[in-house]
A and B are shown apart, each in its own frame.
Chain A
Amino acid sequence: MAIRQSASRVITITSGKGGVGKTTVTANLSAALARMGRRVVCIDADIGLRNLDLILGVENRIVNDLVDVVEGRCDLAHALIRHKAYPELFILPAAQNRDKTAVSPSQMIRITDALRPQFEFILIDSPAGIERGFKNAVAPADEVLIVTNPEVSAVRDADRIIGMIELLEKRPPSRLIINRVKAEMVKRREMLSAEDVTDILSIELIGVVPEDEAVLIAGNRGMPEPNSRAGQAFTEIARRLLGENVPHSHTDASQGFFKRLTRLFTGSGTRQGSVFDE
């Protein structure tokens, strides 16, 4: 097989809190990159609670899994499932009947190293939490995408995870995805805006994904829906991953504009809430 020119990138998708959309992000970003002609493999590191295969609609084609590869029952090539709609997309499923300790961080590094020559993107879907499963998922990461929701507990847990990633020896750069934003609630100030969350966490924002029922419908069908609003947001994130300068297009951009205007008017660059008196 030809050696690819560009270096491969291992990108881990993680969050701290469960249920914020890691698997959704991994599936949709992988599909978006594959649609752009990039060769992608996504690894489900959520051993015991595998789901990535289901969201991508390949659940009936699993023969071998990550743990089979680690324990030498099959070679890597025989565990990869090629997606029917996206020929550039491959899935390495998690084992369903084992637990997180079946794989170690160094084994994850060995697996991604074996995949690097053949794939431009290696996306890893991390389990929730800060234990072994998380450590497995971040060990091989060149970059990390932190998924959070505009919700107090999810933001707090994201902060904890960002802190833990900063302590890793490799210190992979982290970027933020804010998922399930309801523009209408943000407008009423009844939901944290993407700018609020980015302010609080102080890391680079790579994308904002709206709350969109198309996500659930795509999950039902096992097929990503690139034309939905959420699907478009994932495509934008994929383009930013590829280095394109795509302006953030959601309601949040205007929020940010208003805030900047406020600072301009008051000559203040301080945190929100300290600018005006009631």
Chain B
Amino acid sequence: MSSFWERLLGRRNQSGSGTVAKQRLQLLLVTDRSQLSPETIQRMKDEIIAVISKYVPIAHDKVEINLEQRQRDNWLVADIPLLRNAQHGAPPESSAESPTAEDA
């Protein structure tokens, strides 16, 4: 990008310490506001995934569970795609008849 555009767009120094400070604060305040450490958040995510997989098969690689800031509120936002199950076709791994299947 030409420096003219960079300057016009105000993005001359993306690695400036001001930018770094903003990114660090935004991450830190998720922890501060929720009073959950990153490790606790990870453990919670793992447990949520484990509970849901007890009932329905899910696409593990596409799961997204995140703590988000909306204004000053914390939201736990989860996108958990379910795998197509036996009702519509062949279940990919576990049997649709056994909702308590252990993780595959």
Contact = CB atoms under 8 A, between A and B. Distances in A.
A265 B17 CA distance: 25
B60 interface: no
A183 interface: no
- The binding surface of chain A is classed by DSSP as helix
B22 A196 contact: yes
Interface string B63-85: 00000010110000000000000
Contacts of B14: 189, 273, 276, 278
B19 A191 contact: no
Given A156-B32, A202-B72, A189 B25 contact: no
Interface string B15-44: 011110111111011001100000000000
Contact of A200 (B13, B17, B19, B25): B25
A156 B28 contact: yes
Contact of B22 (A188, A200, A258, A261): A200
A152 B25 contact: yes
Nearest to B17: A190
A167 to B, nearest CB: 12
Interface residues of B, number: 24
Nearest to A262: B9
B8 interface: yes
A271 B26 contact: yes
A203 interface: yes
Given A189-B14, A261-B8, A278-B14, 11 more contacts: A155-B25, A163-B33, A185-B18, A190-B13, A196-B18, A196-B22, A200-B22, A200-B26, A200-B29, A201-B72, A273-B23
13 contacts: A152-B25, A156-B25, A163-B33, A188-B13, A189-B16, A199-B22, A200-B25, A202-B69, A202-B72, A259-B10, A272-B22, A273-B19, A276-B11
The 3 closest A-B pairs by CB, nearest first: A189-B16, A258-B10, A189-B13
